Amino acid sequence: MDRSSLFQLIQEQLDPEQTGFIAVENFTSLAEQHELQLDPSKLDLLLALVQSDQHGQVCYQELIELLSSKRSSSFRRAIANGRRTLQREILLDETGLGVYKRFVRYVAYEILPCETDRRWYFHQSRLCPPPVFMAIITIVQIVVFMCYGVRLNKWVLQTYQPDFMKSPLVYHPGHRAQVWRFFSYMFMHVGLEQLGFNALLQLMIGVPLEMVHGILRISLLYMAGVVAGSLTVSITDMRAPVVGGSGGVYALCSAHLANVVMNWAGMKCPYKLLRMILALVCMSSEVGRAVWLRFSPPLPSSGPQPSFMAHLSGAVVGISMGLLILRSYEESLHKQCSWWVLVFSFITFLLFAIFWNIFAYELLGVQIPPPP
Protein backbone atom coordinates (compact mmCIF):
# COMPACT_ATOMS: atom_id res chain seq x y z
CA MET A 1 0.00 0.00 0.00
CA ASP A 2 1.52 3.33 -1.04
CA ARG A 3 1.46 6.38 1.22
CA SER A 4 -1.40 8.20 -0.55
CA SER A 5 -3.61 5.10 -0.39
CA LEU A 6 -2.78 4.69 3.28
CA PHE A 7 -3.74 8.30 4.04
CA GLN A 8 -7.01 7.85 2.12
CA LEU A 9 -7.81 4.65 4.03
CA ILE A 10 -7.20 6.38 7.36
CA GLN A 11 -9.41 9.32 6.48
CA GLU A 12 -12.26 7.24 5.06
CA GLN A 13 -12.44 4.66 7.84
CA LEU A 14 -11.22 6.58 10.86
CA ASP A 15 -12.30 10.16 10.18
CA PRO A 16 -15.17 10.04 7.65
CA GLU A 17 -16.67 13.28 8.95
CA GLN A 18 -13.30 15.06 8.65
CA THR A 19 -13.33 16.34 12.20
CA GLY A 20 -9.55 16.28 12.42
CA PHE A 21 -9.51 13.69 15.22
CA ILE A 22 -9.48 9.88 15.25
CA ALA A 23 -10.87 7.69 18.01
CA VAL A 24 -8.28 5.42 19.63
CA GLU A 25 -10.48 2.31 19.50
CA ASN A 26 -11.09 2.79 15.77
CA PHE A 27 -7.43 3.02 14.95
CA THR A 28 -6.53 0.08 17.19
CA SER A 29 -9.21 -2.04 15.56
CA LEU A 30 -7.92 -1.19 12.09
CA ALA A 31 -4.37 -2.04 13.15
CA GLU A 32 -5.40 -5.38 14.68
CA GLN A 33 -7.19 -6.33 11.45
CA HIS A 34 -3.84 -5.81 9.63
CA GLU A 35 -5.33 -3.33 7.20
CA LEU A 36 -2.45 -0.97 7.90
CA GLN A 37 0.40 -2.67 6.07
CA LEU A 38 3.30 -1.19 8.02
CA ASP A 39 6.51 -2.61 9.41
CA PRO A 40 6.18 -3.67 13.08
CA SER A 41 8.43 -0.92 14.42
CA LYS A 42 6.46 1.87 12.70
CA LEU A 43 3.16 0.31 13.80
CA ASP A 44 4.38 0.17 17.39
CA LEU A 45 5.23 3.87 17.27
CA LEU A 46 1.78 4.69 15.89
CA LEU A 47 0.04 2.70 18.60
CA ALA A 48 2.11 4.55 21.20
CA LEU A 49 0.89 7.83 19.76
CA VAL A 50 -2.81 7.04 19.58
CA GLN A 51 -2.97 5.39 23.00
CA SER A 52 -1.31 8.34 24.73
CA ASP A 53 -4.19 10.81 24.39
CA GLN A 54 -6.20 11.20 27.58
CA HIS A 55 -9.37 12.13 25.65
CA GLY A 56 -9.41 8.89 23.69
CA GLN A 57 -8.62 10.52 20.35
CA VAL A 58 -5.61 11.58 18.36
CA CYS A 59 -5.07 14.49 15.99
CA TYR A 60 -5.23 13.37 12.37
CA GLN A 61 -2.46 15.78 11.34
CA GLU A 62 -0.09 14.44 13.99
CA LEU A 63 -0.77 10.93 12.76
CA ILE A 64 -0.02 11.88 9.16
CA GLU A 65 3.19 13.66 10.18
CA LEU A 66 4.38 10.57 12.02
CA LEU A 67 3.51 8.33 9.07
CA SER A 68 5.43 10.70 6.82
CA SER A 69 8.48 10.47 9.14
CA LYS A 70 8.46 14.24 9.60
CA ARG A 71 10.24 15.63 12.62
CA SER A 72 7.73 16.56 15.30
CA SER A 73 7.33 16.21 19.02
CA SER A 74 4.35 13.85 18.64
CA PHE A 75 6.27 10.66 19.22
CA ARG A 76 8.21 12.05 22.16
CA ARG A 77 4.99 13.20 23.86
CA ALA A 78 3.33 9.87 23.14
CA ILE A 79 6.02 7.83 24.84
CA ALA A 80 6.40 10.28 27.73
CA ASN A 81 2.69 10.51 28.52
CA GLY A 82 1.23 7.33 27.04
CA ARG A 83 0.32 3.99 28.49
CA ARG A 84 2.47 2.11 26.01
CA THR A 85 6.23 1.81 25.64
CA LEU A 86 8.44 0.36 22.97
CA GLN A 87 8.95 -3.39 22.96
CA ARG A 88 12.61 -3.12 24.00
CA GLU A 89 13.67 -0.52 26.50
CA ILE A 90 17.35 -0.45 25.48
CA LEU A 91 18.45 -0.26 21.87
CA LEU A 92 21.63 -2.16 22.73
CA ASP A 93 19.45 -5.26 23.26
CA GLU A 94 18.87 -5.50 19.50
CA THR A 95 20.63 -8.57 18.07
CA GLY A 96 21.27 -9.96 14.62
CA LEU A 97 21.86 -6.56 13.04
CA GLY A 98 23.70 -6.02 9.79
CA VAL A 99 26.73 -3.78 9.38
CA TYR A 100 24.68 -0.72 8.37
CA LYS A 101 22.20 -1.06 11.23
CA ARG A 102 25.02 -1.49 13.73
CA PHE A 103 26.57 1.72 12.42
CA VAL A 104 23.19 3.48 12.70
CA ARG A 105 22.92 2.31 16.30
CA TYR A 106 26.45 3.58 16.98
CA VAL A 107 25.54 6.98 15.51
CA ALA A 108 22.35 7.09 17.58
CA TYR A 109 24.30 6.61 20.82
CA GLU A 110 26.96 9.11 19.75
CA ILE A 111 24.55 11.94 18.90
CA LEU A 112 21.21 11.54 20.70
CA PRO A 113 20.80 11.87 24.48
CA CYS A 114 17.41 10.15 24.86
CA GLU A 115 16.73 6.42 24.46
CA THR A 116 13.35 7.18 22.91
CA ASP A 117 14.95 9.40 20.28
CA ARG A 118 17.63 6.81 19.64
CA ARG A 119 15.06 4.09 19.00
CA TRP A 120 13.00 6.40 16.80
CA TYR A 121 16.05 7.35 14.73
CA PHE A 122 17.17 3.71 14.53
CA HIS A 123 13.84 2.54 13.12
CA GLN A 124 13.23 5.38 10.68
CA SER A 125 16.81 5.79 9.43
CA ARG A 126 17.27 5.24 5.69
CA LEU A 127 20.22 5.44 3.30
CA CYS A 128 18.38 7.94 1.13
CA PRO A 129 19.34 10.74 1.17
CA PRO A 130 22.91 9.82 2.15
CA PRO A 131 25.04 12.22 4.25
CA VAL A 132 26.86 13.70 1.25
CA PHE A 133 27.35 17.33 2.27
CA MET A 134 30.26 16.90 4.69
CA ALA A 135 31.84 14.25 2.45
CA ILE A 136 31.74 16.52 -0.62
CA ILE A 137 33.11 19.51 1.31
CA THR A 138 35.98 17.39 2.66
CA ILE A 139 36.83 15.91 -0.75
CA VAL A 140 36.87 19.33 -2.42
CA GLN A 141 39.12 20.71 0.34
CA ILE A 142 41.57 17.83 -0.09
CA VAL A 143 41.63 18.21 -3.88
CA VAL A 144 42.22 21.97 -3.69
CA PHE A 145 44.99 21.50 -1.12
CA MET A 146 46.69 18.85 -3.26
CA CYS A 147 46.57 21.11 -6.31
CA TYR A 148 48.18 24.02 -4.49
CA GLY A 149 50.65 21.73 -2.74
CA VAL A 150 51.91 20.42 -6.08
CA ARG A 151 51.91 23.88 -7.62
CA LEU A 152 53.81 25.54 -4.75
CA ASN A 153 55.84 22.45 -3.83
CA LYS A 154 55.02 23.23 -0.21
CA TRP A 155 52.75 21.29 2.15
CA VAL A 156 53.15 23.18 5.44
CA LEU A 157 52.65 26.92 6.03
CA GLN A 158 51.60 27.52 2.44
CA THR A 159 50.54 31.04 3.38
CA TYR A 160 54.22 32.06 3.43
CA GLN A 161 54.18 31.62 -0.33
CA PRO A 162 53.05 34.85 -2.06
CA ASP A 163 51.45 32.85 -4.86
CA PHE A 164 49.16 31.17 -2.32
CA MET A 165 47.50 34.49 -1.48
CA LYS A 166 46.89 35.14 -5.17
CA SER A 167 44.26 32.42 -5.21
CA PRO A 168 40.74 33.64 -6.05
CA LEU A 169 39.46 31.51 -3.17
CA VAL A 170 41.33 33.21 -0.30
CA TYR A 171 39.57 35.97 1.62
CA HIS A 172 41.76 39.09 1.57
CA PRO A 173 40.56 42.48 2.88
CA GLY A 174 41.77 44.09 -0.32
CA HIS A 175 39.41 41.87 -2.31
CA ARG A 176 36.41 42.03 0.02
CA ALA A 177 34.24 43.40 -2.81
CA GLN A 178 34.46 39.92 -4.34
CA VAL A 179 31.65 38.45 -2.26
CA TRP A 180 32.35 34.80 -3.03
CA ARG A 181 35.59 35.00 -1.03
CA PHE A 182 33.57 35.22 2.19
CA PHE A 183 32.54 31.59 1.43
CA SER A 184 35.26 30.13 -0.78
CA TYR A 185 38.08 30.61 1.75
CA MET A 186 36.89 27.42 3.45
CA PHE A 187 38.45 25.37 0.62
CA MET A 188 41.97 26.75 1.26
CA HIS A 189 44.16 25.66 4.17
CA VAL A 190 47.38 26.88 5.74
CA GLY A 191 48.99 23.47 5.56
CA LEU A 192 48.61 19.76 6.00
CA GLU A 193 48.15 20.12 9.77
CA GLN A 194 45.09 22.38 9.48
CA LEU A 195 43.55 20.36 6.66
CA GLY A 196 44.02 17.09 8.54
CA PHE A 197 42.46 18.47 11.71
CA ASN A 198 39.44 19.94 9.91
CA ALA A 199 38.87 16.93 7.64
CA LEU A 200 39.04 14.53 10.59
CA LEU A 201 36.45 16.47 12.60
CA GLN A 202 34.19 16.97 9.58
CA LEU A 203 34.08 13.21 9.00
CA MET A 204 34.00 12.06 12.62
CA ILE A 205 31.46 14.61 13.90
CA GLY A 206 29.91 16.24 10.84
CA VAL A 207 28.84 13.03 9.08
CA PRO A 208 27.06 11.52 12.14
CA LEU A 209 25.36 14.86 12.80
CA GLU A 210 24.23 15.00 9.18
CA MET A 211 22.89 11.44 9.38
CA VAL A 212 20.74 12.27 12.41
CA HIS A 213 19.67 15.86 11.78
CA GLY A 214 19.64 15.93 7.98
CA ILE A 215 21.62 17.70 5.29
CA LEU A 216 19.62 20.95 5.44
CA ARG A 217 20.16 21.65 9.13
CA ILE A 218 23.82 20.63 9.25
CA SER A 219 24.74 22.41 6.02
CA LEU A 220 22.99 25.54 7.35
CA LEU A 221 24.96 25.34 10.60
CA TYR A 222 28.28 24.73 8.81
CA MET A 223 27.82 27.56 6.31
CA ALA A 224 26.63 29.92 9.04
CA GLY A 225 29.91 29.27 10.85
CA VAL A 226 31.89 29.86 7.66
CA VAL A 227 30.18 33.15 6.84
CA ALA A 228 30.32 34.35 10.45
CA GLY A 229 34.04 33.53 10.48
CA SER A 230 35.01 35.70 7.52
CA LEU A 231 32.69 38.55 8.52
CA THR A 232 34.02 38.55 12.08
CA VAL A 233 37.58 38.78 10.78
CA SER A 234 36.59 41.69 8.53
CA ILE A 235 35.33 43.52 11.63
CA THR A 236 37.81 42.58 14.37
CA ASP A 237 41.03 41.85 12.45
CA MET A 238 40.62 44.13 9.47
CA ARG A 239 44.09 43.71 7.92
CA ALA A 240 44.19 39.92 8.02
CA PRO A 241 43.20 37.35 5.38
CA VAL A 242 41.32 34.14 6.17
CA VAL A 243 41.79 30.56 4.98
CA GLY A 244 40.48 27.19 6.15
CA GLY A 245 37.13 25.72 7.06
CA SER A 246 37.62 26.18 10.78
CA GLY A 247 34.60 28.47 11.16
CA GLY A 248 32.24 25.72 10.02
CA VAL A 249 34.15 22.98 11.84
CA TYR A 250 34.08 24.83 15.15
CA ALA A 251 30.37 25.53 14.70
CA LEU A 252 29.68 21.79 14.40
CA CYS A 253 32.06 20.73 17.18
CA SER A 254 30.98 23.42 19.65
CA ALA A 255 27.32 22.61 19.09
CA HIS A 256 27.92 18.89 19.61
CA LEU A 257 30.08 19.34 22.71
CA ALA A 258 27.61 21.78 24.24
CA ASN A 259 24.79 19.33 23.55
CA VAL A 260 26.76 16.54 25.23
CA VAL A 261 27.44 18.68 28.32
CA MET A 262 23.82 19.81 28.67
CA ASN A 263 22.59 16.21 28.33
CA TRP A 264 25.45 14.57 30.17
CA ALA A 265 23.37 11.98 32.03
CA GLY A 266 21.50 10.90 28.91
CA MET A 267 24.50 10.57 26.60
CA LYS A 268 25.62 6.95 26.49
CA CYS A 269 28.68 7.24 24.23
CA PRO A 270 31.66 5.36 25.79
CA TYR A 271 34.50 7.25 27.48
CA LYS A 272 32.63 10.51 27.07
CA LEU A 273 34.64 12.40 29.71
CA LEU A 274 37.98 11.36 28.24
CA ARG A 275 36.79 12.15 24.72
CA MET A 276 35.43 15.51 25.84
CA ILE A 277 38.78 16.46 27.37
CA LEU A 278 40.65 15.25 24.29
CA ALA A 279 38.38 17.24 21.97
CA LEU A 280 38.78 20.42 24.01
CA VAL A 281 42.57 20.00 24.11
CA CYS A 282 42.75 19.48 20.34
CA MET A 283 40.46 22.41 19.57
CA SER A 284 42.37 24.68 21.96
CA SER A 285 45.67 23.59 20.42
CA GLU A 286 44.40 24.43 16.95
CA VAL A 287 43.32 27.88 18.13
CA GLY A 288 46.74 28.34 19.76
CA ARG A 289 48.45 27.38 16.50
CA ALA A 290 46.31 29.90 14.62
CA VAL A 291 47.12 32.64 17.15
CA TRP A 292 50.83 31.90 16.88
CA LEU A 293 50.67 31.96 13.10
CA ARG A 294 48.77 35.25 13.08
CA PHE A 295 51.32 37.09 15.22
CA SER A 296 54.50 35.36 14.05
CA PRO A 297 56.83 37.65 12.06
CA PRO A 298 55.68 37.42 8.45
CA LEU A 299 57.95 37.37 5.46
CA PRO A 300 58.10 40.80 3.80
CA SER A 301 56.39 39.52 0.65
CA SER A 302 53.64 37.53 2.35
CA GLY A 303 51.94 40.21 4.45
CA PRO A 304 49.84 39.49 7.56
CA GLN A 305 49.09 35.85 8.25
CA PRO A 306 45.50 34.46 8.43
CA SER A 307 43.38 35.46 11.40
CA PHE A 308 42.24 33.12 14.17
CA MET A 309 38.93 34.94 14.77
CA ALA A 310 37.07 32.58 12.44
CA HIS A 311 37.61 29.78 14.97
CA LEU A 312 36.06 31.81 17.78
CA SER A 313 33.10 33.09 15.79
CA GLY A 314 32.36 29.56 14.56
CA ALA A 315 32.29 28.39 18.17
CA VAL A 316 29.81 31.16 19.05
CA VAL A 317 27.55 30.12 16.17
CA GLY A 318 27.72 26.51 17.34
CA ILE A 319 26.91 27.26 20.97
CA SER A 320 23.94 29.45 20.00
CA MET A 321 22.33 28.41 16.73
CA GLY A 322 23.91 24.96 16.58
CA LEU A 323 22.89 23.92 20.07
CA LEU A 324 19.26 24.78 19.35
CA ILE A 325 19.37 22.74 16.13
CA LEU A 326 20.82 19.68 17.86
CA ARG A 327 18.35 19.92 20.75
CA SER A 328 15.42 20.08 18.31
CA TYR A 329 15.50 16.55 16.95
CA GLU A 330 11.94 15.60 15.90
CA GLU A 331 10.83 19.20 16.37
CA SER A 332 10.16 21.94 13.83
CA LEU A 333 12.49 24.89 14.18
CA HIS A 334 10.09 27.43 12.69
CA LYS A 335 7.63 26.79 15.54
CA GLN A 336 10.14 27.84 18.20
CA CYS A 337 10.43 31.47 19.26
CA SER A 338 14.08 31.04 20.21
CA TRP A 339 14.89 29.97 16.65
CA TRP A 340 13.49 33.20 15.22
CA VAL A 341 15.39 35.21 17.84
CA LEU A 342 18.62 33.57 16.67
CA VAL A 343 17.74 34.08 12.99
CA PHE A 344 16.98 37.75 13.63
CA SER A 345 20.25 38.14 15.53
CA PHE A 346 22.24 36.50 12.75
CA ILE A 347 20.60 38.63 10.06
CA THR A 348 21.30 41.75 12.14
CA PHE A 349 24.94 40.72 12.39
CA LEU A 350 25.08 40.15 8.61
CA LEU A 351 23.65 43.60 7.88
CA PHE A 352 26.02 45.25 10.35
CA ALA A 353 28.98 43.43 8.81
CA ILE A 354 27.96 44.44 5.29
CA PHE A 355 27.76 48.13 6.22
CA TRP A 356 31.02 47.81 8.14
CA ASN A 357 32.81 46.42 5.10
CA ILE A 358 31.40 49.17 2.89
CA PHE A 359 32.10 52.21 5.08
CA ALA A 360 34.33 51.42 8.09
CA TYR A 361 37.62 50.82 6.30
CA GLU A 362 37.67 54.32 4.80
CA LEU A 363 36.22 56.05 7.87
CA LEU A 364 38.79 54.47 10.19
CA GLY A 365 41.65 54.91 7.75
CA VAL A 366 42.71 51.27 7.95
CA GLN A 367 45.94 50.60 6.06
CA ILE A 368 45.14 47.44 4.16
CA PRO A 369 48.11 45.45 2.85
CA PRO A 370 48.16 45.60 -0.96
CA PRO A 371 46.28 42.61 -2.37
CA PRO A 372 48.45 40.09 -4.17
Phi, psi of 247 (to 5 degrees): -60, -45
Q: Residue 284: in which H helix or E strand, if any? A: helix 272-295
Q: DSSP character for 159?
A: G
Contact 116, 263 (CB under 8 A): no
**What's the residue count for the chain?**
372
Which of 74, 167, 234, 246 is the catalytic position?
A: 246
* Residue 221 to residue 354: CA distance in whole angstroms: 20
- DSSP three-state, residue 315: helix
Residue 81, C-beta contacts closer than 8 angstroms, at least 6 positions apart: 52, 54
- Rounded distance between C-alpha atoms, residue 44 and residue 42, angstroms: 5
Annotated catalytic residue, options 52, 234, 311, 313: 311
Q: Hey, is 23 helix, strand or coil?
A: strand
Instruction: List residues bridging with 59 in a β-sheet.
Output: 21
- Rounded distance, CA 268 to CA 113, Å? 7
The neighbour count for residue 190, using CB atoms within 10 Å, is 22
Catalytic residue check, 234: no
**Long-range contacts of 94-102, Cβ-Cβ distance < 8 Å, separation of 24 or more:** 94/122, 100/127
Report the alpha-carbon distance of residue 129 to residue 104 in Å, rounded. Answer: 14
| 164 in Cβ contact with 211 (< 8 Å) | no
Q: Is 285 a catalytic residue?
A: no
- Nearest to 317, CA basis, from 238, 263, 249: 249
For residues 210 and 221, the answer to whether their CB atoms sit within 8 Å is: no
Q: Peptide bond preceding 306: is omega within 30 degrees of 0, i.e. cis?
A: no
C-alpha 162/C-alpha 325 separation (Å) is 40
Q: Active-site residues: which are they?
A: 246, 311
